[in-house]
């Protein structure tokens, strides 16, 4: 093997390693202002109420290091079945920033997620939220999947009534 071939191989390995590291890092570079804006949106959007285990019952006294890891303990049961608040950190770790913006703009999901509010966030706000979440630290584990309407969840769960007849 020539020195050129060996050097080429080393450079290729280094380039691949650098690309995989910098691609993830480049996707989440943010200013202090963007991070602060993302955190603010998370707070005023009440994201922690559902997506952080024990947040609401503890009057918000959950360490920031535990925010948005999801809650697979308390279900929301209604005519659609039962949903559990997913791990937002894990979900966003699997998306590029542009993918998140498209996803959030088009999201339509089951209660209690106020997707119709998220659809109205500005692009700058969606990007700030993404960048805040992506810098939070370990992404945690998936939350258990929801249940179909004919399957009763184990307690605790919150019963979400069907809308009155004639209203959707």
Per residue in 83-128, pLDDT tens? Answer: 999 999 999 999 999 999 999 999 999 999 999 999 999 999 999 9
Which residues, 6 or more positions from 84, have their beta carbon under 8 angstroms from its beta carbon? 70, 71, 72, 73, 74, 75, 76, 143, 144, 145, 146
Say how far apart CA 53 and CA 55 lie, in whole Å: 6
Would the pTM count as exceeding 0.85? no
Question: Which two three-digit tokens encode residue 84?
Answer: 């559990």
On the question of pLDDT at 4 being above 50, the answer is no
Give the start-to-end residue ranges of the domains of the chain: 32-159
Which residues, 6 or more positions from 44, have their beta carbon under 8 angstroms from its beta carbon? none
Range of lowest pLDDT (12-16, 30-34, 61-65, 91-95): 12-16
Say how far apart CA 97 and CA 27 lie, in whole Å: 6
% of the chain surpassing 70 pLDDT: 82
The partner residues of 81 in beta bridges, in order of sequence, read: 78
């Amino acid at each position: 093997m020539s020195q050129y071939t060996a050097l080429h191989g080393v450079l290729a390995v280094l380039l691949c390693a650098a690309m995989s590291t910098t691609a993830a890092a480049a996707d989440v570079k943010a200013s202090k202002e963007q991070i602060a804006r993302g955190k603010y949106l998370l707070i005023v959007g009440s994201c922690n109420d559902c997506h952080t285990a024990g947040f609401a019952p503890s009057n918000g006294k959950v360490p920031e290091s535990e925010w948005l890891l999801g809650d697979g303990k308390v279900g929301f049961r209604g005519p659609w079945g039962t949903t559990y608040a997913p791990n937002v950190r894990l979900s966003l770790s699997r998306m590029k920033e542009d993918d998140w913006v498209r996803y959030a703009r088009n999201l339509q999901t089951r209660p209690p997620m106020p997707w119709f509010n998220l659809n109205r966030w500005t692009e700058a706000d969606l990007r700030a939220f993404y960048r805040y979440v992506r810098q939070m630290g370990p992404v945690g584990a998936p939350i258990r999947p929801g249940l179909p309407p004919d399957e009763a969840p184990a307690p605790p769960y919150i019963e979400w009534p069907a809308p009155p007849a004639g209203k959707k």
